[in-house]
Homo-oligomer: A and B are copies of this chain.
Amino acid sequence: MRKMGGLYLVGIGLGEKGISVKGLEIARKSDMVLLDSYTNVIDENKVKTLSGLIGKEVRLADRTSLEENIDPLIEESKKKRICILVPGDPLLGTTHISIVVRARELGVKCEVIPGASIFSSIGLTGLSPYKFGRTVTIPHLEKSFKPRSFYYQIKLNKDVGLHTLVLLDTERGGMSPSVAVTILDEIENEERLGVVSNSDLIFVLSRIGEENQHICLDRLESVISKEFGPPPHSLVLPGKIDEVEREMIKALFGVEV
C-alpha cells in the first residue's frame, strides 16, 4: 500500500511566482497547504496568486502553529501530505530548521525544497556576494527589549572590510528603512564606536523579486526622511568597496563612490 503522508517545507522564493516547478508539483499533490505568515510579511495578492497556481486553498500559519503547536501538525503529516510554503528559502529561518529537527524526533522525514532568497540578491547592489560578513537583523525595540548585538556585528564586519546585509523585523507589518536607520543612528550616538555616520553610503532593497522591486543607493541621513513603499525592505551597509565593485556601482546606479 502506498504511504500517503508527508511533510514538506517548500521555499516560494522571491516575488509572486518565485516558487520552483518542483515545489509547485509538491504543493499540488498535498492534502493541506499552509503559508508561513510568521517569518515574513505576507500580502493578500501573494495568497491569491499561490492559491491560483496550486489550485488549492492556501491557509496562513502563524507563530503559534509553526512553533508551540507544531507537534500535532507533524503527527498529522504521518497520514496526510502537508506542505508548508515559506517565503524565500526555508533553511534560512530557525523556525523552519526547528520543524525539520522536531519532525525527525517524532519519526517523520521532512523534505525541504529550496527557494531563492534575499541572500543571493545582494549582488543587485554591485557589491560582491563573496565579500559579505555575518548578516544581522534589526528588531523593533521595546522598553524591555533593546538589543545592540546587530550594531556590534556590523562593526566586526566593517573592521575587516566586509559588507553587511541588514534584515528588518517582519513583525507588526515590517519595519521601514527610515526606522531602521534611526535605530542605528541612536545607538551610534550612545556608543560612539564610529560604526555608522550620516554621510555613509547605504543600499535600500525593497520588494526584491516583486514586480515593483526597487534598489536605491543613498546616504544614511537622507534615508531617515524617505519613504520606500510597502515591505519587505533590507539594507546593505558597505564595508571596503574595491575597484571592481566601484565600476559595477557606477554602471548600475550611475554614481561614483
**B105–A120 contact, CB under 8 A?**
no
Once A101-B251, A156-B160 are accepted as A-B contacts, the answer to whether A131 and B129 lie under 8 Å apart by CB is no
Residues of B within 8 A of A14 (CB): 114
**A18–B17 contact, CB under 8 A?**
no
Residues of B within 8 A of A22 (CB): 15-18
A224 at the interface (CB under 8 A from B): no
A121 at the interface (CB under 8 A from B): yes
A225-245: CB near B (< 8 Å → 1, else 0) gives 000000000000000000010
Inter-chain CA distance A190–B103, complex, in Å, is 45
Instruction: Determine how close the nearest CB of chain B comes to the CB of A30; give it in whole angstroms.
Output: 16
**A119–B116 contact, CB under 8 A?**
no
A102-128: CB near B (< 8 Å → 1, else 0) gives 001100000010111101111110101
**A132–B130 contact, CB under 8 A?**
no
Residues of B within 8 A of A89 (CB): 116, 120-121, 123
> Restricting to A137-195, which residues have a CB under 8 Å from any CB of B?
156, 160, 162
Total count of chain A residues near the partner, CB < 8 A: 56
Sampled A-B contacts (26; CB under 8 Å): A11-B120, A13-B114, A17-B20, A19-B21, A20-B21, A21-B21, A21-B24, A88-B120, A89-B123, A90-B123, A92-B129, A94-B128, A94-B244, A97-B126, A101-B247, A104-B251, A112-B124, A114-B116, A114-B117, A114-B121, A115-B116, A117-B120, A119-B129, A130-B135, A130-B136, A133-B134
In the A-B complex, the 7 residue pairs with the closest CB atoms: A91-B123, A114-B116, A17-B22, A89-B120, A17-B21, A101-B251, A117-B120
Given A13-B114, A17-B21, A91-B129, 10 further pairs, Cβ under 8 A: A11-B120, A13-B20, A15-B22, A18-B22, A19-B21, A100-B252, A104-B251, A114-B208, A133-B133, A134-B162
Interface residues of A (CB under 8 A from B): 11, 13-22, 24-25, 53, 88-92, 94, 97, 100-101, 104-105, 112, 114-117, 119-124, 126, 128-136, 156, 160, 162, 208-209, 244, 247-248, 251-252
